[in-house]
């Protein structure tokens, strides 16, 4: 807490959680923080709310994948494809597409050209005045999906991504994405034997009922083949402009019945309440559908009875503070509703959502939560443990994961005491 007070004193004139994470100044002040060093070292348990297509290293996509001879960029003006979209193809995908190698060769400054590609597939200061950040966010996904979803990129992209999570002291991931080859996970386990990955199948809320029904059927098939790896289903995309949970209720209930008939079940982990509106029925229906966790839940604060039910039933709330800020729901993270959830005893899980696009990591979310929500070290410990307790792991897996996390926590506390001893010689030693 002395270290936290020193950080508050250091950032009194410019408190990072009160400013947009799109600003380079915000990221720079955090990067220089001794508290951020602690957050990097802290064993964070698992990431339960993240999208694999926006979790990896986008710098690597630029420095490696965009240099491949079959990488194309769209420079046309067609309505179906956003300008700047990237794709790997044996031949030109059509009018408006050009080889990246040719465009780069004609650029006056190749380094600046590469930086321009990176900026086009992420969000930064240049988006500060964007009138519709969600549309830009969606466009970024469209620009990069031709690379992250390509089979020839997929293995190395995921291997790099998972190793980066290990380096950040994360031991578990549940990704809203298609499952990867088990061999990639095994490769990562050579670095960290405790590391593991599971997958939550998902469909977009903008899809038709028929499309969602097909996605649900595919999820059941995958779960029947590998129930320990495919752990549930989610509906994603912006809630305010797309369909509600209720819109797909017949498809969701039919899929649940089919999954139960096949003896595999189909847990729901539903994005719900990612909105500034109180008139959002998704939270009600997520609870009525028995969702194991709620994704984001920003609007849950406006429904006290639902908060009570979430607490009573132990429904995890996947909170992604920096994502919530950048997508326009909470401008000053000191006002994020998660502080009310934590203080009221709801099971909050801290997650990171789409860090590759937001140019951040889970350590940044932990920094923001610690500094802005009145938390102490015990609170951080509980948040990390929650990510394993409320995961989709079975009881034996949770027991092993928590035991492994316990060992990491003890090592972390030893490091923290040594790290702070010289700076705060009169402070008592921290216990586990």
Q: Which residues carry out catalysis?
A: 274, 296
75 CB-side CA count, 13 A? 11
In 3D space, the residue among 378, 341, 404 whose CA is nearest the CA of residue 170 turns out to be 404
Looking up tokens 């297509």 gives 53
Q: Which residues pair with 45 in a beta bridge?
A: 170
| 379 to 360, 373, 399: CA distances (angstroms) | 22, 10, 21
Cα torsion at 46, 49, 54, 59 (round to 10°)? -30
Q: Which residue has the tokens 């010689």?
A: 425
**Cβ atoms of residues 317 and 300 within 8 Å:** yes
Q: Put the strands of the sheet holding 170-175 in their side by side order.
A: 45-50, 170-175, 196-204, 230-236
In the chain, DSSP finds a helix count (H) and a strand count (E) of: 19, 11
Q: How far apart are CA 181 and CA 196, in angstroms?
A: 13
User: Computed from CA positions of residues 138, 142, 147, 149, in that sequence, does the dihedral angle turn out positive or negative?
Assistant: positive
DSSP structural state of residue 254? H
**Contacts of 411 by beta carbon, 8 Å cutoff, 6+ apart:** none
SS (H, E, C) 60-106: HHHHCHHHCCCEEEECCCCCCCCCCCEEECCCCCCCCEEEHHHHHHC
Strand pairing category for 86-88 and 71-74: antiparallel
- CA separation for the pair 332, 55 (Å, rounded): 24
Neighbour tally for 396: CB within 10 Å: 8
Alpha helices per DSSP H over 178-208? 182-189
Q: What residues are paired with 99 via a beta bridge?
A: 72
> Measured between alpha carbons, how far apart are the two ends of the chain, in Å?
15
Tokens coding 331: 């401008």
Report the alpha-carbon distance of residue 272 to residue 138 in Å, rounded: 18
């Amino acid at each position: 807490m002395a270290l936290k007070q020193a950080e508050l004193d250091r950032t009194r004139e410019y408190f990072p959680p009160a400013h947009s994470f799109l600003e380079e100044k915000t990221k720079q002040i955090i990067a220089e923080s001794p508290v951020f060093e602690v957050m990097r070292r802290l064993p964070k348990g698992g990431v339960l709310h993240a999208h694999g297509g926006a979790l990896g290293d986008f710098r690597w996509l630029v420095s490696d994948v965009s240099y491949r001879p079959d990488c194309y960029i769209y420079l046309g003006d067609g309505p179906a494809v956003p300008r700047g979209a990237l794709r790997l193809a044996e031949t030109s995908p059509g009018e408006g597409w050009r080889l990246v190698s040719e465009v780069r060769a004609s650029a006056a400054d190749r380094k600046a050209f590469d930086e321009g590609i990176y900026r086009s597939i992420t969000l930064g200061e240049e988006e500060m005045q964007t009138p519709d950040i969600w549309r830009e966010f969606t466009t970024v996904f469209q620009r990069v999906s031709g690379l992250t979803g390509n089979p020839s990129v997929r293995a190395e992209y995921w291997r790099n991504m998972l190793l980066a999570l290990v380096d950040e002291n994360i031991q578990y991931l549940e990704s809203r994405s298609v499952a990867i080859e088990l061999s990639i996970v095994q490769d990562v386990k050579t670095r960290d034997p405790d590391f593991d990955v599971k997958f939550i199948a998902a469909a977009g809320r903008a899809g038709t009922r028929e499309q969602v029904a097909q996605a649900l059927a595919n999820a059941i098939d995958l779960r029947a083949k590998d129930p320990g790896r495919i752990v549930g289903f989610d509906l994603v995309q912006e809630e305010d402009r797309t369909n509600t949970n209720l819109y797909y209720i017949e498809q969701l209930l039919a899929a649940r019945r089919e999954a139960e008939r096949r003896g595999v079940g189909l847990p729901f982990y539903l994005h719900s309440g990612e909105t500034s509106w109180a008139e959002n029925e998704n939270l009600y229906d997520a609870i009525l559908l028995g969702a194991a966790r709620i994704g984001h839940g920003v609007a849950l604060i406006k429904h006290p009875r639902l908060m009570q039910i979430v607490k009573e039933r132990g429904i995890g709330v996947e909170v992604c503070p920096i994502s919530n800020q950048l997508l326009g729901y909470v401008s000053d993270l000191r006002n994020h509703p998660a502080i009310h959830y934590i203080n009221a005893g709801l099971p909050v899980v801290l997650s990171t959502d789409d860090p590759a696009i937001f140019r951040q990591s889970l350590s940044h979310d932990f920094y923001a939560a610690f500094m802005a929500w009145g938390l102490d070290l015990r609170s951080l410990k509980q948040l990390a443990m929650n990510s394993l307790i409320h995961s989709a792991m079975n009881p034996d897996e949770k027991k092993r994961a928590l035991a492994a996390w316990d060992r990491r926590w003890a090592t972390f506390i030893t490091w923290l005491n040594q790290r702070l001893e010289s700076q705060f010689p009169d402070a008592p030693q921290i216990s586990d």
